[in-house]
Amino acid sequence: MSAFGGAALNKAASGQMRRGLANVCAYADAINRHGSKLSTGKKLKLAEVTISILDCLAHRRSGYGGHLAFVIMLAMPLFPHRYIGRALLACFAILPLSCARFGAPNPANSPAASGPTVTTAAGALEGRRDGAVRIFKGVPYASPPVGEARWRPPVSLPQWSGVKQAMEFGPACTQPTPGGTSIYANDLRPSSEDCLTLNIWAPAAAARAPVLVWIHGGALQTGSSKESLYDGTKLAAHGLVVVSINYRLGVLGYLAHPELSAESRLGISGNYGLLDQIEALRWIKRNIDAFGGDPSNLTIAGESAGALSVMYLMASPDARGLFAKAIAQSAYMISTPELKQGRFGAPAAEEAGAKLAAALHAPNIAALRAMDPQALTDAAAAAYFAPFGVVDGHILPRQLVEVFDRGEQARVPLLAGFNSGEIRSLVFLAPPAPASPAEYERIIRDRYGNLADEFLRLYPSNNLRESILATTRDALYGWTAQRLVAEQTTLGQPSFLYLFDHGYPNADAAGLKGFHASELPFVFGTLTQTPPHWPKIPATPEEATLSAAMLDYWSSFARNAQPRAANEPNWPAYGSQRAYMDFTAAPHPSLDPFPGMYALHEEAVCRRRSSGTLAWNWNVGVISPPLSPARGHCGVSDF
């Protein structure tokens, strides 16, 4: 016993059970005072044991005590058991006491903390561990955009001191008060205007691992990085460092207004949500190496409005160099408002913002900034404010179609696709069917002119409901996906197209085969983490196998721009043959989805662009404006 400090340790470790915590604290102090008498190996082991005891005390009621006690028990053979035993018994004897009462360090702020800790350029973080994955939640990447910072570009967060706890998701960004029972409905509260946080899932042994940054969907109006569908654990288990981000939504994220433009040194406004995404990417580039991620191998990915955001980022000069690859799931390359002038059927974004302020009885931006964020968001949604990116000549220099036509987008490999039943869960985007097949054909011939024969071949009158759903699907999602991979292929970038045409009993019974976003649980491996009203996915080997394949393909693309999956067919690049991967019950390579679809909608959009006054979005089929004959560079040579 003399080698351990003799009587001092004995005295510190002894005592009554009712004074157990004080004994443990004194035990740690005795080790500190008499450590010079110990060998180096025993010093380290005693320090480890003492820290474990303190950590046991700090977490006893949280369920960690048993695990940490196991660490102590492993060390016991090195020491006389009665001393360690007394300390261990003291740990489990204590209920409401804490070492802080006796002047010892607070375990929550000491090296005894049990979660994984990383030190980044932004500061130190403590997270949680789930098996071999480290998880850090609610990490702030920019200063809160509140008060006078509302409707201003995000500001980099100063470096913090100490260890920031990163164990819980941050609040969702303020969005319309939830209601309804759609399959997407999910109560994401609490929400807040102070919401610029991100979440990280990293393999425990990650080193220069590929990074996937997920941008959530929700029409730029709703959604959050904390949705359980986007849990990154399975993708991290495939070797990726996964990051999901929040960004400002709705009126708080996309309002343009003359006063706001006057405040800007560039004379622009709007796009605050997009600027948040860019700031998040900058934070990730600066800090992700601390989590084992490779900042030079970063893939941006998103679905629906998240995929729209991916296209905005590909088009934005401010985002250039912040990512190396892109994934766009169910993107929609629609016309978007321009800041100063009305064009393509939309008013100037500044004009729309001024009209919204008038509708809310706000005489100026100061009055709008004084409004409660939730009340403002709900009022703007009630006034039909539609958030979109703004063509301002800087953040978004041109319409997306023009950026891609000119080859000015990011020159990066791309994976893009769409779902066969996109509109089955978004029927509000589709027009009602005409009274009869004959009326349907009459309207189509009136609206599409010399394109009508091809239109009716693709979307015949013998099944009006299916033809109307397919028309809107293709005009929004199918055309966009194929256009994206075609444009990137032209730039010499590896590009891969998919169609998700998978059904399962509960979805099929509800008429929702391949519905919008239905690929997400398969991509993330979150088959049991869907929203409450989502058609339940059966726990069968078939569904698990398909999810495993998609996890492999997506993670492989993020790793080296080549989507590959174990025991599954190779995914061919789009190329000149218009190859794609068809996800049905299993993945099947194929050629040219819905032959003729892309050419038809490309021609229709070209004619709308030539007019200068017609939008391109879901105003298609029987609600399409009459299209002018081909002129200029538009033609029908593909038909």
Ranges in the chain, pLDDT < 70: 1-113, 631-633, 635-639
284 vs 89: CA distance, rounded Å: 45
21 vs 429: CA distance, rounded Å: 65
**Cα four-point dihedral sign 448, 454, 460, 461:** positive
Radius of gyration of the chain, Cα coordinates, nearest whole angstrom: 29
Crossing angle of helices 81-93 and 65-75, rounded to 10°? 170
The CB density around residue 149, as the number of other CB atoms within 10 Å, is: 16
522 vs 6: CA distance, rounded Å: 61
**Cα four-point dihedral sign 364, 369, 370, 371:** positive
Helix (H, G, I), strand (E, B) or coil at 227: coil
pTM of the model: 0.83
434 vs 465: CA distance, rounded Å: 10
Selection from 67, 162, 88, 71 nearest residue 119 by Cα: 162
Q: Which amino acid is at 342?
A: G
**Cis, peptide link before residue 190, omega less than 30° from 0:** yes
The DSSP 8-state label assigned to residue 454 in this structure reads: H
What lies within 8 Å, CB to CB, of 77 at 6+ separation is none
541 vs 374: CA distance, rounded Å: 44
Distance of CA 520 to the CA centre of its chain: 11
| Separation in Å, CA 79 to CA 2, 13, 39, 48, 260 | 12, 13, 13, 13, 69
161 vs 117: CA distance, rounded Å: 14
620 vs 455: CA distance, rounded Å: 11
**Cα four-point dihedral sign 264, 145, 178, 380:** negative
114 vs 129: CA distance, rounded Å: 9
Please provide the DSSP assignment of 331-355 as one string: -------BSSS-BTTB--HHHHHHH
Per-residue HEC secondary structure of 359-385 comes to HCCCCCHHHHHHCCHHHHHHHHHHCCC
308 vs 81: CA distance, rounded Å: 63
325 vs 328: CA distance, rounded Å: 10
Q: In what side-by-side order are the strands of the sheet with 587-591?
A: 128-130, 133-140, 197-203, 241-245, 209-215, 293-303, 325-329, 414-419, 495-500, 579-583, 587-591
**Which member of 516, 518, 568, 603 is catalytic?**
516
**Which member of 351, 422, 487, 603 is catalytic?**
422
**So what's the pLDDT on residue 70?**
34
φ, ψ for residue 210, nearest 5 deg: -65, 150
The CB density around residue 594, as the number of other CB atoms within 10 Å, is: 15
633 as an active site residue: the answer is no
**Which member of 269, 304, 330, 547 is catalytic?**
304
**Cα four-point dihedral sign 138, 142, 143, 145:** negative
**So what's the pLDDT on residue 635?**
63
Selection from 511, 515, 492, 489 nearest residue 502 by Cα: 515
φ, ψ for residue 134, nearest 5 deg: -95, 135
Tokens of 188: 């994401």
φ, ψ for residue 327, nearest 5 deg: -125, 125
168 as an active site residue: the answer is no
Tokens of 604: 């229709």
The DSSP 8-state label assigned to residue 391 in this structure reads: B
Helix (H, G, I), strand (E, B) or coil at 419: strand
Q: Which helix (H) or strand (E) holds 129?
A: strand 128-130
**Cα four-point dihedral sign 423, 425, 427, 428:** negative
**So what's the pLDDT on residue 27?**
40
In the chain the first and final C-alpha atoms are separated, in Å, by 94
Q: Which amino acid is at 522?
A: F
Domains of the chain (ranges, CATH numbers): 2-109 (no CATH), 117-176+192-412 (3.40.50.1820)
Distance of CA 371 to the CA centre of its chain: 28
Helix (H, G, I), strand (E, B) or coil at 214: strand
What lies within 8 Å, CB to CB, of 427 at 6+ separation is 469
Selection from 362, 382, 455, 406 nearest residue 150 by Cα: 362
